[in-house]
Structures are given as structure tokens and as C-alpha cells.
Structure 1
Amino acid sequence: MQSTEKHSSTWDLQPDTTLIRILARNAEVLGNRVAMREKHLGIWQETTWAQMLEATLACAAGLQGMGFGSEDALLVLGDNRPNLYMGMLAAGMLGGYAMPAYPDATPDEIRHFIQETHLRFALAEDQEQVDKVLDLGEAGTTIEHIVYDEPRGLTHYQHPGLLSWEKLQAQGAQRLSAEPDLRRRLIENATPQGPAVFVHSSGTTGKPKGVVLSHRNILTGVGNAFRGGAFDFGESVLAYLPMAWVGDFAITMGAGVALHFTINIPERQETVLHDLREVAPSFYLAAPRSWDNMLTTIQVRMEDSTPLKKWLYDVFMNSALKAERQKLEGKPIALKEKLLRPLGELVIFGPIKDQFGLTHLKHAFTGGEAIGEDTFVFYRALGVQLRQFYGQTENSAFTALQDAQEVRLHTVGKPLPGVEVKIADNGEIMVRSGSVFSGYYKLEKATQEALENGWLHTGDAGYLEPDGHIVVLGRLSEVVYTAKGERFIPNYIENRLKFSPYIKDAAVLGKDRDSLAVMVCIDMEAVGHWAEVRGISYMSYADLSQNPEVLKLIAQAVQRVNAILPDALKLRHFVSLHKEFDPDDGEVTRTRKLRRNVIEQRYAPVIEAIYSGQKSVTMKAQITYETGEVGSIERELSIQEV
């Protein structure tokens, strides 16, 4: 059998193939090597590359036997599961659209996907997701065939189109056995320009737009990222990011298949941190909020430890932080810090990394939005070479990243090899690469606005530094002006407010107004722990959000951000809201990007109270429960002057 090293060195990441053909090659060359590991009932279950190919082929043969063709879409609902990933590859194998949705997607969101394309098939993780699809049928939107992965609770369901994954596999295997040429035809059926995945834009300004990425798009993006140092052959990764997010498919299936990763799938979303420790991956991508949460957990555990351990932690961590800041500023590291580092690694840093599964981490990334400076510097001081990552759904997720030895706090790094970046006259970042999509699905006008002579309008405002580093300021559409003509980008200020672990979301106000203000959603877990340590009692989120001590805490965070803002753009007032911004309420997208038009309309009474000089306002807010039922919550909110 050909060795892994030989396989790695002879394949040069050419994009003119398909994920399916690469999967078949992996099965041939690396057949007995583990492709995926899933934690089920506390035990890691392994799937080899050969088994992965067989299951994907059987799924494709079964779907094809049920009438799935090149114009069909497969709705995929649920958390990360091996069979759901293989189902997505099978849809691409048949030239169809693998369309993952967020597991907590509402019926209206799913209905939008169904109305968007020819959607007759669904692949659901469990009973909860099956019920969601069946409920759509009762509302007049029917999906003919529903394949489910987890059979628990579905034994007595009588829906005629309902089929278990095991039965689909059996039907597909029977076809493969009866038709000797079917295997070859299925592997060769997909083309480089054919669909690999059908994902959606975030939908901050309206309904999410469909983005079909071809095999060539995905593999070009993977090749660009590989040459840029994002990952290497044979990485170990934790597949926990939502499957509906382009980054998950690009990394887990795109890079995972192309570079034959070991793909580890956690038991549940609630066990991600525990499973992360067991896996100890070599590649890990997380949103800033996830890195913040891990940092908060580390700090909480240190607060609960013995006085000696706390003292050692403070000594070594403060020294490491000082050294990292000196390095980032281009200054030589002091001799004291150099001498303390090895002992700190042995006593503090190593054990912490071991506890959180960061010991073997070679490629650590954050993306999606700006990360707090303190958080970023902390992980680098800990010995985790955390780097910024930048990309778009329309560009197969990979645009730019920081080099491990050339990290700056305010940039997202240089464009990847194979990616061209320029700045338009209006300050918009534009991108050109083979990884850029061909257009929004059946939306000609939106496609014309997004693509110009092969250049993608990213919608982000920014600039290039003289040495090529990209600085992202925020969404171009969010560049607004105060009544006095001062230009600002709300998202830029909001991200810096969220650097505080106590602020989960923020919406900055000030368009056509004399001054800026902000509505803040506290982070319940972080603020709750902060209150508990100080003996502050509360009954609910709404109660905690209006506590005078909590308002002082938020005021400090606002003041820290004001310190870096010009006088004309300082925040003059803030309101701590009585509920979080919720995707089920339409206030943020599933990736937690603000839907400003919804927020400004829904919280209009709060906004008017701020700018009319009131000290408080009674606000009644709509909330959507998990059942889909709509309720309301009413609270008097304090308007704080900074």
C-alpha cells in the first residue's frame, strides 16, 4: 500500500477534480486509516476511508433509486453527524444540492429554503428534526422523502416518505451489487464545476441568499489555504461548527477529504469542551465568543483554586503576557521573561493546555468578527499560536489569514496565495480567486451587484497596509453619519464593546443623531458568575440586567471603548436590555450578526427615550419559545449616561 507521505507529496492540490474522486482515491490509498470518529454513548466510534466511501456510495445509490437527480436538493437538518456529512457528499455525487440548515432553524427559515429550489428530500438527524419537517407538511409545504439518522422515538411514525438511514444504506447496497458498473458511474458522475454544497449568506438585510459552491470553488479555496499555511495533510480536527456555515463544509469536508484529516465529531454540542480535551486536535477554528468563553472558564477555575496555585498563575501568566506584548510591538523580550518561560510551561501553561485539549494544537484560528485584544494576547502568551482568519461564504470561506510569525492585532493578515485583493474607490474590499462563486441562486440582480469582471464585492469596508496586510473596518453598508456629519461604522464599535466578557451583543445607535448611544445585551453566564462571587442576588436575566452594580460594570466597559474613540464618536448613553438578541425573534442571524432594521423597529421606544432625554423607559419585547409560540416580556429599563 502507498504510504501517507507518498500520497501527500504526489498530489499537488489541483482543483480540477471533485471531492468524490478524492474520497475514492483516499479509500484506495488509505483504506484502513481512520477518516471520522464520532463519540456515541461515551465511546469513540471509528469510520475508515474505505467505509466512508462505501457508505457514501450506498447513500447516493439509494437516493438515486428514490428519484434524486441533478436538479434536486437535499435539506440537511441536525448537529454534526458522520451520516449527515456522507449524505451531503452523496447529494454532490449525484450532481444535486446538499443544503444544510442550522439545527435550530425556524419553520419559516426552512420554508424559505424549500420555496427557493426543487426540494423533495430531507436528511434529518433525529425525531426533533423529523417533526420539524413533518410540521411543514401540515402547513402545506411537503417534503416527499425524509431520511433519518437516529431512530429513537420514530419507530411508530407512519409517514409514507419516512426512511431510516440503515434502510437507505441497504437499498443502495443492493443496487450497487446488482449493477456492477454503478459504482464507477457514481464516482465519475460529479464534475469540477458541479455543486459541492448549497449554503446561504447570513441574511442581515433580508432573506438569506442561496450560494452554490462548486467542487472547483471548494478545492481552490482549500489549496489556497494550504499554501498559505492554514493546515497540512493529516490534521486532526473537531467538527463542531454548524454544518450550515460555509467554514464547516470547507474545513471538515473540503480540507478534510482533500488533505485526509481525521475528523472528530463530538457527542453533543454541550460536550464540545470535554470532547475537545479528549481529541486534542492539531487544527481548531472558533469564533471569538468561544475563545472568550474558554478564557472565562480558565479564569473561574483559577479563582476557585488554592492561594499557592493562584499566586503561581499570576506570576507566570503576567510574565508571559508582558513577553507577548513586547513581541507584538516588535521589541526584544526581556531576559527575565525568557528565563521564566520554560518553568511557566512546566508548572502552569502546559497543564492548562492539557485540561482544554490545546496541547497538540498547531493551527489555531479565530474568525467571523474581531477578537478582543486581551483574549488574543492571552492565548498567545499561553503558547497557543492563535491567528486571525478572514473569508466570505461567496469565496468558499478562505480569503486571508495571519502568518504565525507575522501577527498584528488590528489586521486579518495577507491575502492567501491564489487570492487577489483590491480596495474599491468607496473603500470596499474586493476579492478575485477561483474560489469565488458564480452567483446567487436564481437571483440575477443580486449576482450582478456582487460580481464585477470576476471580482467579488465583499461588502466589507477596509484598506490595505503598505506590506499587504488587510484591515477590515466593518460592513460597508453600515457606514453611516451623525447629524453633524461624522462618519462611523457601528459594527467597529460593537466589536470592541464585545471584547468585554460581560457583553454578549451590542447595537450602536447614532445615525442622523447628535450623539452615539448603545443598547447592550449582557452575557448571562459571565455576569451571573460575577454577581454570584459578589453575593448579588437576582431572579432572571431581566432582573440581573437592571441591577445597579451590573450597570456600573457595563459602564466601565463602555468607558474603555470610549477611551479609543474620537470625542465626536464617544458613546454618551447606554441601555442594558432585558433580553438577549435572539435569532428566533429575527433580531440576529444564526451566526449572530445583527439585523439592524429589525432591532431599530422593535426597540424604537428605547431609542426614542434615549434621544428625548428620559431616565428610563418601559419596554415590552416579543420572545419566541422553542415550541414556536410567541410571548412577551415587559420591563422598565434604566437609561444610563456615560
Structure 2
Amino acid sequence: MPTTAHPPASQAVAGARTPDTFPLLLRQLAATRPDDVALQEKRYGIWQPITWRDYAARVADFAHGLAELGVERGQVVAVIGDNRPEWLIAELAAQSIGAAVVGIYPSSIGEEVVHVLDLARVRVVVAEDQEQVDKIIRLKDRLPNVETVVYYDPHGLEQYDEPYLREFTDVETSGRAWGESHPGRLDSWVEATTAEDIAIICTTSGTTSLPKLAELSHANLLTMAGHLTEVDPLHSTDRYVSFLPFAWIGEQMLAVACGLSHGLTLSFPEDSSTQRADLREIGPDVMFSPPRIWESMLSDVQVRIDEAGALKRKVFGWGYNVGDAVAERRVRGKRPNPWQRIAHRIADAVALRPVRDQLGLARLKRAYTGGAPLGPDVFRFFHAIGVNLKQIYGQTEICGIAVVHRDDDVRFNTVGQPIPETELRIADDGEILLRSSSVFRGYHRNSEETAGTVDADGWLHTGDAGYLDEGHLVVIDRAKDVRRTADGQLFSSAFVENKLKFSPYVEEAVVFGGEADDDVTAMIIIDPATTGAWAELQHITYTTYTDLASKPEVYRLIAEDVVRANADLPERVGVRRFVLLHKQLDPDDDEITRTRKVRRGVIAERYADIIDALARGDEEVTLSSTVTYQDGTTVERKTPLRIFDLSTFALPEGHRRRPVWSGRT
């Protein structure tokens, strides 16, 4: 039986069972801290709080409502939508009955939705709003198991008359009446839940196929939460802003498992457009975001500083250099010298803290990034401005985390060291193996894949290649994607791609070649915000994304950053040619996953003409696509793309390397 993390004994309810499931933790918090704020959601510009007592009461009502709808122990309830209190109320309610919850990314469409709902044999779907309800209605003929769809944002749904639709508050109301006529039923269900019950089912990344559904128990998640907080303690007064999908294991890990274990207050932004402002308003103490969020924040800083006057740029540059020197000592467990401490106080006041305030990170005690590698330069930037950012490594199959940096030992090219009671081993072929009590129960209705992922000795085969450097784990890439150059040097496409993505003007990059005598080439997708801002400063006019990506000036801009990236790479794996794609990669087109991991198989097939032209060294490649209009007419559209050869390109004479915080040289 795995060791399960528990709240402090001082919080225990006298005579009650020690909480070892999410519903029991909620019941304990409602009894010991009834009037403290558990959740708050911003609606119409005003924060709407929900206390622990009210949270538990709404969970009880919705649990009774689910029971009235026929949900039973061992079944699966699906939730699709953005983060709102109702998401967690539905999750805790299902778990109170002994059911599990599977989250579906709100951006998922078509085959993905059908795959998850059909595989999990879902009867009740909780959907956020009209957009999500419409998806289910369109797919209903392919979802014979789905009997009820409960929505929690009724806007636009007033005239819908599908018999299987129910409003969330109606289910709560009828559930309250059902509970009054079945006294004690919910208490018996909650007491019957065990730590080994399935709490959530999370989808895997699905970079090569439709995602698998990983079953995670209460014990898996709470054990992980306990081990993480042995490294980084959390307190009941800590605040957390929840804006990443609950369908992602990362948000379940920190917001739900750690949140319930320590009674954190969760805040939900009003909308994606107000997310940054709401983050500043709350000022979270802890934060967890994938690399794209941190890269986006750095890009925003670069744009703002580039637009600032010369004096402000010079002051920030001085402050950054001071912060960088201090951070370099702190992450090695050393104290700054007296002069550095004095200079840092000044630098923090005039340069660094204002940037943290603007990003909403002023109160942050620690922050995590995971899900994909984060470039060392981006890592270094946040430490220099005073953000205690740490890399974590894990997978859905081990509750999202197995390895993390320690506060006094952060190395920007590693992902840290194993958390307590987690074993790590590198197999003979370089694959990373992990073992702990947080390793998942298995893939839902897929015992064959489970057997191939967890061996008889309990080792999770991650599929990632890596090595240990003085106790720190260095992740190279997916094992199947690690290749060798003609001279035998290990080569990872992801490593090169991350170097390219350090440029504030690059949103995504996909690298090809590198084996045998093939040149390394790249397909680059520009960042429309930062590149567009640069173009405006240069007085370059453009209309669409495609138009911007085709500009010769933009090609030269990206070429300069590719040359800089090559300077940090072994010569054999430096990029020789690249093309700027005419569009952004889209999860709806299966080109990237919902967590923004590139689906290399799809890219290789869809853009085969580009890849071949890059390999041959052509000067141009033309893509053909068929556009279908609403009236049914079609037109063949041809898009010429320039291939940029870096063998004939050199940085302008006297050109200096730009600082990490600026897009300028």
C-alpha cells in the first residue's frame, strides 16, 4: 500500500477517519475552516468567493444529483470546459460517489471527444457552455452511451430543447431534494471511498496517435503532493491562480492534489483576455505553467523594453546584470557578497520589481515549469529578475512529477533531482526509468499498453532518453527521436528546436535531417505578436500572418537569430536552411497536441514537400491547398515559400549579440 500524504494532525476532525481521498479532505476542510475562502471566481469584474462550507455543500448537492441521474461507483463522468468552480464541484461530487472523472481539453473537437467518451463509456458529461454543448450535440449520434449533458453556463442555451440537456444549478437543486429523501447516503459513499479508488483519468499527450487514458488513484496523487511539499512546503495562506486546463495532469497535481492537501485558495480568472491582469491582482504565491507561458512572458518583456526609451533600457540592463550575478550565486547555494546585496536592493527597486509587478509575479515564492524543456536562457532570465523558477520532470503516468530542482541547486540545463521516495534509473539504452508510489494504476481498458509501460518490478518506462550529471537529470528527447550524426554524435531535434525558440520572434520550430550526411534544416513558425511589433517599429506594412511571414526583412530577422542559435550548437547539428511556414501550427489540424507538443508524424506527412525541398536545397517550394467555400465551390490555392540558405548569410559587421531581455542587438 503506498504511503499517502495527509494534512497536519492539528487539522484532523476528532473521531473522523484520517483523510486519504479528495472528498474526505474536502469534508475535513469544511469542518475545520468553514468560513475561509476555498475558491473565488471573477465575474463581471468582481471576485465571487466560495467558502469551504459552501464548497462542500455544493459538492454534496451535485453528488446527490449525479446519483439521481444514475451515476454509480466505478463509472466515469466527463467534464469539458474552462476552469470554473463547477469543474471542481463536478469532480469532487463524482469522486464522493466512488466514480472517477475524465477531463477533456476545451479545445478538443470531433474524433478526440468521441475517443475519450466512448473509451471511458461516459454516461454523464458536464460541459461548460454553448460551445461545448454544441460539440456534444453534433457528435451525439456517435455517442450511444451519453445519456445526460449538464451545462454550467446557460448563456445562449435558453432555447435548446434537447431532452438530455440539464442546467448545473437544476441538478444541484434536484440533488438537494434527493439527498433529503436519502439521509446519510452520501456519508456512506464517502466513507466507502478508498485511497486506491480511481480519482481522475488523464489523457496522455498523444503525439503519435489518439491519447491513452491514464488511471490515477487518490493515493497516487496525494502521495505525490506529500513528497513535493517535503521539498517545497505549502501553507494554507498560499494563493494559486488556476488558468491551465484541469484536463492536464499539471493542474490536477498542483491546484487539486496540493490544493486540497494544504487548503490553498484557488482563484479563477474571468476570461483568457483578463488572465494577466487577474494574475497581477491576486499575486499568487505559487505557480505552475508549461514553457510556452514563460516564453510568452519573456516575449512581452522584450517587446515592452524594446519600445521603452534609451534611459529606461540602460537602467534595466544594469539592474538585470546585477540580478543575474546574484541569482548565479543563489542557485548554487551561495550568499551574495555585501556589495552585491546593496546593489541588488537598488536594482530590485528601480528595475526588477517593476517587471515582476507587471507580470503578476511580485509575491511569488516559487514557480514550476514542466511538460517540455525550457531553454536555459529563459530560465536564467526569470532568476535574474527574482523569480524562483524551477524545472520539474514527470509524466501523466507518474502524476506529473518525479524530479524537481531544489531552491539552492538550480542548474539551467537540467530538470533537477528525484523527489523523496522516487527512484530513478537510466537503462542501458539510455531510457529514463522511474519508480514510486505515484506510478499510475494503468491505462483505462488497455492492459496491453499498461504492461508495456510498467514492468514487473514496478519501473515506469518513460520513453525519454537522458543521463545523470552529478545527481541531476538531463533529458535529451523522446528516446525514439534521439539520433546520431555521421560522426557518431548524439543528436536531438528537440534540443535544436529549443535553441531556435529562444528567439522572441519564433513561436515554434520543427527540425529535420542531421543523420548520415544530411544537413540539419528547420521549418519555423514566427510569433505574430512579437514579430508584428518589430515590423511596426521598422515601419514594415503587412496584412495577414502569411504576408508577414513572407517579408524579406522578417526572413533576415529570423536568420540572425538562427545564426546565434547555431553558435551554441555543435557544428554538425547547426541549422543550414530554413523556411518560414505560412501558418501557425494548430491542434485542431492535429499538428500539435493540446499541450502544444509537435506531432512529428503528422508534420512529416503533411509537409513532406517542404521537408524534401529543404533537404535538396531548393530556393523555393510551392504548397497547394484546396479551399472550400460555404456555397460548396472550391478553389486551388498555391502558396510559394522561400527557403533561406544560411551558407551565404553572415551577420552584419559590428553586429552584437542581443541581451536575453531584448529583441534588439
Bin the TM-score by the shorter chain.
over 0.9
The one-letter amino acid paired with 1:567 is E
Partner of 1:272: 275
Q: Matched residue of 2:409: which SS?
A: coil
C-alpha separation in 2, matches of 1:16 and 1:338: 45
**Does the CA-based 8 Å contact 1:15-1:223 persist in structure 2?**
no
Q: Which residue of 640, 643, 665 maps to 1:639?
A: 643
Shift in CA distance, 347/633, structure 1 to aligned 2, threshold 3 Å: farther
**Do residues 515 (structure 1) and 514 (structure 2) align?**
no
Partner of 2:138: 135
Q: Matched residue of 1:99: which SS?
A: strand
**Do residues 55 (structure 1) and 33 (structure 2) align?**
no
The one-letter amino acid paired with 1:227 is E
**Do residues 462 (structure 1) and 466 (structure 2) align?**
yes
C-alpha separation in 2, matches of 1:416 and 1:617: 49
The one-letter amino acid paired with 1:460 is D
C-alpha separation in 1, matches of 2:634 and 2:269: 32
Partner of 1:582: 586
C-alpha separation in 1, matches of 2:121 and 2:351: 56
C-alpha separation in 2, matches of 1:384 and 1:405: 13
**Do residues 603 (structure 1) and 604 (structure 2) align?**
no
Shift of 1:353: 2.1
Higher mean C-alpha deviation, range 602-611 or range 92-101: 92-101
Q: Matched residue of 1:504: which SS?
A: strand
Partner of 2:655: none
**Do residues 324 (structure 1) and 324 (structure 2) align?**
no
C-alpha separation in 2, matches of 1:10 and 1:120: 35
The one-letter amino acid paired with 1:418 is E
Shift of 1:64: 0.8
**Does the CA-based 8 Å contact 1:133-1:143 persist in structure 2?**
no
Shift in CA distance, 237/7, structure 1 to aligned 2, threshold 3 Å: farther
**Does the CA-based 8 Å contact 1:124-1:148 persist in structure 2?**
yes
Partner of 1:145: 148
**Cα distance per residue 1:228-247 (max 9 Å; x no partner):** 21644442101101111111
Shift of 1:529: 0.9
C-alpha separation in 1, matches of 2:568 and 2:109: 39
Identical aligned pairs, as a percentage? 37
User: Unmatched 5+ residue regions in structure 2?
Assistant: 1-6, 647-665
The one-letter amino acid paired with 1:569 is V
C-alpha separation in 1, matches of 2:41 and 2:61: 20
**Cα distance per residue 1:10-60 (max 9 Å; x no partner):** 99xx99821111110111111111100111111100011111111111111
C-alpha separation in 1, matches of 2:123 and 2:634: 29
Partner of 1:162: 165
Shift in CA distance, 485/518, structure 1 to aligned 2, threshold 3 Å: same
The one-letter amino acid paired with 2:216 is L
C-alpha separation in 1, matches of 2:370 and 2:634: 33
Shift of 1:374: 2.7
**Does the CA-based 8 Å contact 1:302-1:310 persist in structure 2?**
yes
The one-letter amino acid paired with 2:586 is D
Shift of 1:99: 1.1
Q: Which residue of 351, 355, 358 maps to 1:352?
A: 355
**Does the CA-based 8 Å contact 1:17-1:191 persist in structure 2?**
yes
Shift in CA distance, 227/638, structure 1 to aligned 2, threshold 3 Å: same
C-alpha separation in 2, matches of 1:105 and 1:593: 15
**Cα distance per residue 1:201-240 (max 9 Å; x no partner):** 1001111001111111111111111112164444210110
Quote the RMSD (CA, aligned, Å). 2.6
**Cα distance per residue 1:366-413 (max 9 Å; x no partner):** 222222233222221111111111111000112111111111111111
**Cα distance per residue 1:540-590 (max 9 Å; x no partner):** 111111211211122222222222322222221111111111111111111
**Do residues 35 (structure 1) and 38 (structure 2) align?**
yes
Shift of 1:501: 1.6
Q: Matched residue of 2:507: which SS?
A: strand
Equivalences for 1:406-555 in 2 at 5 Å?
406-452=409-455, 453-466=457-470, 468-482=471-485, 486-510=489-513, 511=515, 514-555=518-559
Higher mean C-alpha deviation, range 110-119 or range 347-356: 347-356
Q: Matched residue of 1:119: which SS?
A: coil
C-alpha separation in 2, matches of 1:418 and 1:325: 29
Shift of 1:281: 0.6
**Does the CA-based 8 Å contact 2:21-2:194 persist in structure 1?**
yes
Shift in CA distance, 567/310, structure 1 to aligned 2, threshold 3 Å: closer
Q: Which residue of 382, 385, 390 maps to 2:388?
A: 385
**Does the CA-based 8 Å contact 2:97-2:186 persist in structure 1?**
no
Shift in CA distance, 280/624, structure 1 to aligned 2, threshold 3 Å: farther
Higher mean C-alpha deviation, range 364-373 or range 476-485: 476-485
Partner of 2:375: 372
C-alpha separation in 2, matches of 1:461 and 1:623: 41
Equivalences for 1:394-405 in 2 at 5 Å?
394-405=397-408
C-alpha separation in 1, matches of 2:18 and 2:576: 52
Paired residues in the alignment total 634
**Does the CA-based 8 Å contact 2:114-2:143 persist in structure 1?**
no
C-alpha separation in 2, matches of 1:205 and 1:492: 19
Shift of 1:639: 1.0
C-alpha separation in 1, matches of 2:258 and 2:143: 39
C-alpha separation in 2, matches of 1:69 and 1:630: 50
C-alpha separation in 1, matches of 2:251 and 2:611: 37
Shift of 1:312: 2.4
C-alpha separation in 2, matches of 1:156 and 1:620: 42
Q: Matched residue of 2:123: which SS?
A: strand
The one-letter amino acid paired with 1:135 is R
Higher mean C-alpha deviation, range 491-500 or range 613-622: 613-622
Shift in CA distance, 447/631, structure 1 to aligned 2, threshold 3 Å: farther
C-alpha separation in 2, matches of 1:6 and 1:191: 20
Partner of 2:209: 206
Shift of 1:328: 5.5
Higher mean C-alpha deviation, range 480-489 or range 131-140: 480-489
Shift in CA distance, 72/524, structure 1 to aligned 2, threshold 3 Å: same
**Does the CA-based 8 Å contact 1:15-1:219 persist in structure 2?**
no
**Does the CA-based 8 Å contact 1:226-1:232 persist in structure 2?**
no
Higher mean C-alpha deviation, range 553-562 or range 105-114: 553-562
**Do residues 616 (structure 1) and 620 (structure 2) align?**
yes
The one-letter amino acid paired with 1:582 is D
C-alpha separation in 2, matches of 1:484 and 1:212: 43
The one-letter amino acid paired with 2:386 is G
The one-letter amino acid paired with 1:291 is W
**Does the CA-based 8 Å contact 1:199-1:211 persist in structure 2?**
yes
Shift of 1:117: 2.0
Partner of 2:567: 563
C-alpha separation in 2, matches of 1:623 and 1:277: 43
The one-letter amino acid paired with 1:194 is D
**Cα distance per residue 1:294-316 (max 9 Å; x no partner):** 22223333344455433322322
Q: Matched residue of 2:503: which SS?
A: coil
The one-letter amino acid paired with 1:598 is V
**Does the CA-based 8 Å contact 1:16-1:192 persist in structure 2?**
no
C-alpha separation in 2, matches of 1:188 and 1:442: 27
**Do residues 290 (structure 1) and 293 (structure 2) align?**
yes
Shift of 1:365: 1.4
C-alpha separation in 1, matches of 2:595 and 2:637: 24
Shift of 1:253: 1.3
